[in-house]
Amino acid sequence: MTKPYVFQHVAPEELHAHLKHRSLLKGKTAVQSFEIAEVGHYGRALLLDGCVQSTEYDERIYHESLLFPAYAYSPRVTSVLCLGGANGGTLKQILKLPHLERVRLFDIDPELHGISRRLLPHMHERTLEDPRVRIEFGKVFDMVAALGETRERFDLIVADLPDATAESYATSLFSSEFYQNVSRLLSPHGIYVTQAGQAHFLYSRFLNRTLRTLGREFAHVTPYTVTVPSYGCPWAFALASRGVDFASVTPETLGQRIRLLPEETLAAYDEQTHAHMFHLPKILRSALAEDVPVNTLGRMETVEIAVRAEPASSSS
């Protein structure tokens, strides 16, 4: 009997594999290839263009880590713009924020949104029933640029984006031009947060270029990391702001804000975890000291982590 595996690169010469118990649905939307499968001991997983995006049993680590540190550094969050994330995982967490008044979500793939609502109900729960939520579909780069021409501003902008592979629509959303548009949408003390690829000291160029690119458009930028087990290596995120100096926010203030969150609904985030996230290991800090160019639409750093060929099988 053969058992299929899902393989993907975590570095050019390094693979991570999950046993695939069964595939629930596999296909291609107008935007991207996808598969929803049951893998390893992680439950149902969403794969985009061959890359694991989330799994049922550890998605909360990723989504809580993406959102709540930015909230903790924010003086007050009443308005949020979420870029990507129509699979529901981030939106579910956003609705836990105290003082929240409105959320807009921009995503490119309405077809996948419908599929995930049907096959990944643990991600969405009852988010679409909340009257504060407004979801719109289209090209995210263009939607952000158009919104910048209005007076609407946000306290927090969350980029829940897929991996920036050469085939992904998300590549342009790590460019200097995009960050210029994002900065116009933030309130004076607003914060932008994005996933930023692998926190792998031997494969840190994408992260480094993302940080350098954010640093061109924002006065304050800081990375942090967390281990998402299904990804096979630590994962990086980046905070950016014009008005919030992250280094000046005291642990006492962070703790006060974190304690306002509904702790009983959080699986992965608290004060102790927050402190751990922002203490990068020396070997990664050294790797990120390399001088690298910024990302522009004409010169982008992309990541190659997905295996396109059919995965090998193992006999048992």
Active site residues per annotation: 160
Residues 194, 155: Cα–Cα separation, whole Å: 15
Q: What is the dihedral of CA 61, 63, 68, 71, to 10 degrees?
A: 170
How many other C-beta atoms can be found within 10 angstroms of the C-beta atom of residue 78?
15
Give 14's strand partners: 11
Residues 48, 43: Cα–Cα separation, whole Å: 16
Local structure of 45: helix, strand or coil: strand
Identity of residue 66:
L
Whether the CB-CB separation of 207 and 117 falls below 8 Å is answered with no
Q: Please give the structure tokens belonging to residue 160.
A: 């829940």
